[in-house]
């Protein structure tokens, strides 16, 4: 039997059906796109995760932030979208200072840091300032930031009377990431906001890059998973006018980026550009250890984080990309790189990276590397293998490294690696081994302990592709850290972090190289300044590198005391000041050397600044190797000028002037030979006084045509002169400006096409 349905009931039922159908339709639609304009539209951010619990991490006391901050996190088909709302009423000063990309400055800013695999291995930092300037970096080894990488992502900022806002959109092709499970992806997330006028940093979650763990402390966030493919080609053309030799050269090449899916990325470069649009700092190095330089070439910074395999001593690593295209084996300038290829991706819980590069010519080297990392939850295990073929030297270098990280609980982290090298030259193979272990135990928010052990035998050789400042090393240290983050409100300081460390280091034959006690205090002031004190006290030991294998030298007890203060902009001025007292190489504390540096920066306006730093150093009884076991003891003086101009001409143009000039003198006190009992014996062998002058000058104009597409016009001039006679540092400094070993005008155009 059918019963009639009242009309009002039918009407209610129809409305309910329409609401249900509309709701299902909304659920079926893809997420709404976010217009990245810096204005937070509530409609666009519907369904986003809303975060309001920002707490102080600088100083690291976990208290609620002094100013309210909100953030929204949303997964969209176009990328990971983040919005920040920073309350900053008129009574709180705002910093409108403009910065260059990747410049570090104490300004109002926000940071999004994301670990796309939530495994604590590799993170990415995306920073936007109040004035919409940016910084991006790759994070490895828990808290090591590398700003050489530049990504393609969207950002915008706006401000009003009560505060300012930022929106970001990070495309899913920005990095390789594991395959999503069940249509969802879990990422590790960290958000923070820095108040420029005070230096206060408020974050969610409460994590700090000044702690043993940082990446591992990101909060897991599960989001709807999307994937994006991308094929991009960035061809370049460059023309150089050599003013010294009166010739013109032209070149061209391309960088290629292909991400067919979320798990795989392929990067290639053809005839990469080695024109210096980024200039290295001046370095005069008379020591035995090689100077380390970073790499700004796009191919070698793109998704390079997986290849990070550090050995925990200085900048040591298995892959030092400056080797590719570095000084050629035949001594004729730099190696000419024909091309290079890099493949990154993941299969399940295993990540991989493959890299190869080829130089041209008879002296051309072949570089190759394989990297594997597998995640076991509380443990990760990795392998990196490299090979370099050097036909000009009849040399093949093979290196294998295994690294392991174990985090059994929230307090303890154990990181270890072992490495081995096999160098085959002229039919003879030399094998070497080494390994490191660091144990970090965070007892609580105040106290941390660290143990580090390191062993490299005297046959270990990583420097065909990697960087290792020395081998033949056995090293131990124990460090205790104490944090003071609850200082009285009336104190000038917001926090202190104290380090106490004892160090023992021998070479692989049992000779003592270092016995040291070290104290460091890192401080944050309430006006946004940063201060650091360092004290090192060294017992008598030996230097086995000075004579380059012709005998070790006994070194006397010595010490070093250093103080540095960085003060952010107040009005039109910012200051960086450093002062150092140190014992001498030969007689320790019987003669005291010193170094003083002052670098003021004057801001003509928020977009235009001029800086001029001067460093003066006195090095008494400075020991410099001459030949075999002959060394000279000198009194040395040096003057270094580091000056420049930075001008942000609107949002797309930038003018940078960089000037460095050095004058150095060294007057001989005595020549010595290192005898069998490792003592310096005075001799009459002829050793000359000497002096040095050095110049580096660059004017660089950049116009941003589109993201990662730029026009550069660069003028550069420089030179180096060694004079085997004494001439005062001040005179050499003045004559440095006459140097003209090189002078060139470079024009480079690179444009990225995305298909």
Could you read off the pLDDT of 459-518 as tens digits, one per residue? 999 999 999 999 999 999 999 999 999 999 899 999 999 999 999 999 999 999 999 999
Q: Which residue has the higher pLDDT, 88 or 314?
A: 88
Instruction: Look at domain 23-224 and name its CATH class.
Output: mainly beta
DSSP codes, 405-434 = EE--SSSEEEEEEEEEEEEEETTEEEEEEE
Q: How confident is the model at residue 274 (pLDDT cuts 50, 70, 90)?
A: low
Residue 204 has which token pair?
A: 């969610």
Say which residues have a Cβ less than 8 Å from residue 9's Cβ, sequence separation at least 6. Answer: none
Kindly provide the b/e burial profile for residues 646-665, where b requires at least 16 CB atoms within 10 angstroms of the residue's own CB.
bbbeeeeebebbbbbbbbbb
pLDDT tens sequence across 204-248: 999 999 999 999 999 999 999 999 999 999 999 999 999 999 999
Is this structure's pTM higher than 0.75? Answer: yes
DSSP strand E in 130-263: where?
134-140, 144-146, 154-160, 163-170, 184-194, 201-204, 219-224, 230-242, 247-261
* Residues in Cβ contact with 51 at an 8 Å cutoff, skipping those fewer than 6 apart: 70, 71, 72, 73, 191, 204
Mean pLDDT in residue range 388-405: 97
pLDDT tens across 219-230, in order? Answer: 999 999 999 999
Instruction: Name 219's Cβ contacts closer than 8 Å, sequence gap at least 6.
Output: 188, 189, 190, 204, 205
Condensed to tens digits (0 to 9), the pLDDT of residues 30-74 reads: 445 899 999 999 999 999 999 999 999 999 999 999 999 999 999
Task: Return the structure tokens found at 160.
Answer: 């009003």
Please say if the pLDDT value at position 258 is more than 70. Answer: yes
| Domain range summary for the chain, segments of one domain joined by + | 23-224, 545-755
Q: What is the token pair recorded at 443?
A: 């007892």
């Amino acid at each position: 039997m059918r019963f009639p349905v009242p009309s009002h009931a039918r009407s209610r039922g129809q409305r309910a059906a329409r609401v249900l159908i509309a709701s299902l339709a909304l659920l079926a639609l893809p997420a709404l796109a976010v217009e990245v304009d810096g204005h937070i539209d509530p409609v666009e951010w519907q369904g986003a995760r809303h975060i309001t619990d920002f707490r102080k991490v600088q100083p690291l006391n976990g208290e609620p932030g002094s100013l309210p901050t909100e953030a929204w996190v949303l997964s969209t088909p176009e990328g990971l979208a983040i919005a920040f709302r920073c309350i900053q009423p008129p009574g709180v000063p705002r910093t409108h200072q403009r910065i260059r990309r990747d410049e570090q400055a104490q300004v109002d800013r926000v940071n999004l840091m994301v670990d796309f695999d939530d495994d604590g291995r590799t993170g990415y930092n995306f920073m936007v300032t109040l004035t919409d300037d940016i910084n991006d970096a790759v994070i490895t080894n828990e808290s090591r930031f590398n700003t050489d990488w530049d990504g393609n992502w969207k950002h915008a900022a706006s401000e009003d009377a009560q505060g300012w806002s930022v929106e970001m959109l990070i495309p899913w092709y920005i990095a390789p990431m594991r395959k999503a499970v069940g249509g969802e992806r879990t990422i590790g997330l960290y958000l923070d906001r820095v108040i420029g006028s005070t230096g206060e940093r408020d974050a969610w979650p409460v994590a700090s890059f000044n702690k043993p763990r940082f990446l591992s402390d990101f909060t897991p966030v599960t989001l709807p998973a999307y994937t994006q493919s991308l094929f991009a080609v960035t061809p370049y053309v460059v023309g150089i006018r050599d003013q010294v030799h009166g010739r013109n050269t032209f070149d061209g090449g391309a960088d290629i980026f292909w991400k067919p899916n979320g798990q795989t990325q392929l990067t290639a470069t053809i005839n990469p550009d080695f024109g210096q649009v980024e200039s290295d700092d001046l370095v005069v190095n008379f020591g035995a250890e090689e100077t380390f330089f970073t790499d700004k070439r796009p191919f070698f910074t793109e998704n390079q984080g997986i290849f990070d395999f550090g050995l925990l001593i200085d900048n040591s690593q298995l892959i030092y990309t400056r080797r590719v295209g570095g000084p050629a084996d035949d001594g004729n300038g730099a190696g000419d790189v024909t091309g290079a290829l890099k493949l990154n991706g993941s299969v399940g819980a295993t990540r991989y990276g493959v890299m190869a590069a080829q130089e041209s010519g008879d002296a051309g080297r072949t570089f190759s590397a394989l990297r594997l990392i597998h995640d076991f939850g509380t443990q990760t295990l990795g392998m990196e293998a490299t090979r370099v073929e050097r036909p000009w030297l009849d040399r093949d270098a093979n290196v294998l490294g295994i690294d392991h990280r174990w985090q059994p609980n929230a307090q303890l982290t154990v990181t270890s690696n072992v490495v081995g090298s096999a160098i085959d030259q002229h039919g003879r193979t030399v094998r070497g081994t080494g390994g490191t272990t660091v144990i970090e135990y965070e007892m609580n928010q105040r106290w941390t302990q660290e143990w580090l052990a390191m062993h490299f035998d005297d046959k270990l050789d990583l420097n065909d592709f990697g960087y290792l400042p020395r081998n033949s090393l056995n090293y131990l240290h124990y460090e205790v850290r104490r944090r003071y983050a609850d200082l009285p409100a009336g104190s000038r300081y917001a926090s202190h972090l104290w380090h106490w460390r004892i160090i023992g280091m021998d070479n692989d034959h049992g000779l003592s190289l270092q016995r040291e006690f070290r104290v460091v205090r890192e401080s944050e002031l309430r006006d946004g300044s940063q201060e650091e004190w360092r004290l090192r006290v060294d017992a008598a030991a030996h230097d086995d590198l000075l004579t380059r294998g012709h005998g070790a030298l006994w070194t006397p007890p010595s010490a070093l005391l250093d103080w540095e203060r960085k003060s952010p902009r107040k009005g039109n001025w910012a200051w960086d000041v450093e002062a150092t007292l140190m014992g001498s190489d030969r007689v320790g504390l019987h003669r005291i050397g010193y170094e003083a540096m002052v670098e003021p920066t004057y801001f003509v306006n928020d977009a235009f600044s001029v800086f001029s730093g001067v460093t003066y150093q006195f090095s008494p009884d400075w020991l410099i190797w001459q030949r075999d076991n002959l060394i000279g003891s000198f009194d040395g003086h040096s003057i270094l000028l580091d000056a420049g101009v930075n001008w942000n001409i609107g949002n797309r143009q930038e003018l940078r002037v960089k000037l460095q000039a050095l004058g150095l003198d060294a007057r001989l006190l005595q020549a010595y030979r290192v005898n069998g009992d490792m003592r310096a014996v005075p001799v009459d062998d002829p050793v000359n006084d000497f002096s040095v002058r050095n110049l580096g000058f660059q004017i660089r104009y950049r116009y941003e045509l589109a993201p990662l597409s730029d026009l550069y016009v660069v003028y550069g001039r420089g030179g180096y002169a060694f004079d085997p006679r004494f001439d005062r540092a001040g005179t050499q400094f003045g004559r440095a400006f006459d140097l003209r070993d090189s002078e060139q005008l470079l024009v480079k155009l690179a444009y990225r096409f995305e298909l």
